[in-house]
Amino acid sequence: MISGLHSLLEGTRQPGLRELRAALGERLGGPGVEGRVVGEQRLNESGSIDRVHLELNGELISVVVKRSRPAAAQRNRFIAHRCLPAAGLEAGAPAILAAAAERSGRYVWQIYEDLGERTLETDRDAAAVQAAVDLLGKLHARFIGHPLLAEARDVGGDFGPGFYTSSVRDAIRCLEALSLPPAGVAGDWSQLRDRLLERTWALRAEERERTQAIADLGGPETLLHGDLWLKNASVVRKGRSVRVGLIDWDHAGLGPSGYDLSTFVNGFPPHERHGVLQLYKEAAAHPGWHLPSDADLSHLFRTFELARIANCVVWAALAANDGVAGALEELAATADWLGSVDEFALAP
C-alpha cells in the first residue's frame, strides 16, 4: 500500500487523477510493497507534467507523470514500444511504465521512467553533446527506408514540403477567420491580425521556392522527433558515462532529416554549430546525402523555422477565435518571431 496516493496532485485539479492514482498503485504498489508519496514537483505551468517522489520499501524513487491528448499519447507509445526497439535504440527515450485513460476519453496519463532534471539546455559539455548527436544520427540513419515509416506517417505528422505549405495556408485561413474581435478583447487587435496576414501571404508567395529547397536539400525521409529543442534531450550521468534520452515525442512523425537537425542545431550558439554539424555528419552517415553548403543550410534551416512558426500561428489564431485567455498574447509572440527570423548563422 502506498500512503498519500489517494490525494496525489490534488491541488492541480487535473482531469483523470483517479485513474492515474489507480495506475500508479497497480504498477508500483504490488503485494508486499509498503510505501508513501514523499513529494510532488510541477514541471510545467499547467500542471499536466509532474515528477512524483516516492519511498517504496525504504528505497527512494521518482517517476514522471504526463497528461496528454490521446493522439500525442499514442505517438509516445509508438516511439517507445515499437520504433526505438526496432532500431536497437530502446535507451533513446524514457520507458513508459504504465498508462491510464481519463474516463471521458479526452486525456491519457502516462507514467514515465524519470531521467532527471538535466538536459542539454542546462548540461551541455562535450560528452553530452557527443552522446546526443550520436543518438540523433543513429535514429535518422537507421530509419531511412524502414518499413515502420508507413506507420509513422499514419500515427504522426509529415514534416516534408507539405508541412510548409499546409502551415502557411492554414495560418492564412485561420487569421482571415478572425473578422470580429475575439470575445472580451478590447483595443485595436486588428493591427496585429493584419501584420500577421501580410507576413504569411509573403510566405505563401515564397512557397514554390521554399518547398523545392526542402525537397532538394532537406535530406532523406526518416523518423523524426519533431520538437528537438535542447530542453528535450535529457542528460543522465553515472560516473563517467553519459546517456542522453529524448523526451516529449508528442510531435513525432517522418520527413527530411534536416527538419530535426535544424531545430537541434539552432539551440547552440553560432560558434558551436559547425562542430555539431560535423559530429552529426559522422554519426548519421547517410548514404547518398551530404550536408549542403553553409549558404544552402542557412536557407533550409530558416525555411523549416518559418514553417514551424506559421504552424504556431494556426493554433494561436484558432484559440483567439474561441476566446481562449492569452491567445492574443501568443499571436503577438508569433508575429515577433516571424519578424525576427534572420538568415540562420552557422558562425558568428
Residue 279 lies in a domain: yes
Q: Which pLDDT value is given to residue 323? A: 80
- Is residue 347 included in any domain, yes or no? no
23 within domain boundaries: yes
- Does one domain contain both 180 and 86? no
Under a CB-based contact definition with an 8 Å cutoff, are residues 228 and 265 in contact? no
- Is there a single domain that holds both residue 11 and residue 160? no
Assigned domain for 120 exists: no
The tens digit of pLDDT for each residue in 101-119 reads: 999 999 999 999 999 999 9
Residues in the chain, pLDDT under 70: 179-188, 286-288, 342-345, 347-348
Q: Answer with the one of 84, 113, 142 that is the final residue of a domain.
A: 113
Are 43 and 155 contained in the same domain?
no
Cα–Cα distance between 251 and 159 in angstroms, integer?
Answer: 10
What does the alpha-carbon distance between residue 195 and residue 332 come to, in Å, rounded to a whole number? 10
Is there a domain that residue 345 lies in? no
Could you tell me if 285 and 141 lie in one domain? Answer: yes
**71 & 177 share domain:** no
Residue 170 maps to a domain: yes
Picking from 133, 123, 157, 155, the residue whose alpha carbon sits closest to that of residue 274 is 133
Please count the structural domains in the chain: 2
Q: Is residue 323 part of a domain?
A: yes
Last residue of one domain, picked from the residues 113, 141, 170: 113
What spatial distance separates the first Cα and last Cα of the chain, rounded to whole Å?
57
* Cα distances (Å, whole numbers) of residue 77 to 4, 101, 135, 144, 249: 28, 13, 19, 21, 9
Host H or E run for residue 333: helix 327-340
User: Which triple of cell numbers denotes residue 120?
Assistant: 542539454
**Threshold 0.75, pTM exceeds:** yes
Domain with 20 in it: what CATH number?
Answer: 3.30.200
The pLDDT assigned to 322 comes to 84
Do residues 87 and 141 both lie within one domain? no
Same domain, 229 and 305: yes
3-class state of residue 46 by DSSP: coil
CATH number for position 151: 3.90.1200.10
Q: Are residues 269 and 226 in the same domain?
A: yes
Query: Is residue 236 situated within a structural domain?
Result: yes
The CA–CA distances, whole Å, from 303 to 61, 165, 171, 264 equal: 43, 11, 16, 15
Both 224 and 268 in a single domain? yes
- Residue 317 confidence (pLDDT): 92
Q: State the residue range of the domain holding 58.
A: 2-113
Handedness of CA 58, 64, 66, 71 (dihedral sign): negative
pLDDT value for 5: 92
Q: Which segments within the chain are labelled E, that is strand? A: 2-3, 35-42, 49-56, 59-68, 96-101, 108-113, 157-158, 221-224, 233-238, 241-246, 253-256
Label residue 30 exposed, middle or buried (CB < 10 Å: 0-12, 13-18, 19+). exposed
Write down the residue that cell numbers 505549405 correspond to: 165
Note whether 88 and 136 are same-domain residues.
no
Instruction: For 105, list phi and psi in degrees, rounded to 5.
Output: 85, 0
Domain boundary, last residue among 113, 138, 161? 113
In this structure, the answer to whether residues 102 and 130 fall within a common structural domain is: no
Residue 11 CA to residue 32 CA, distance in Å, equals 29
Maximum alpha-carbon separation in the chain: 66
215 with 323, same domain: the answer is: yes
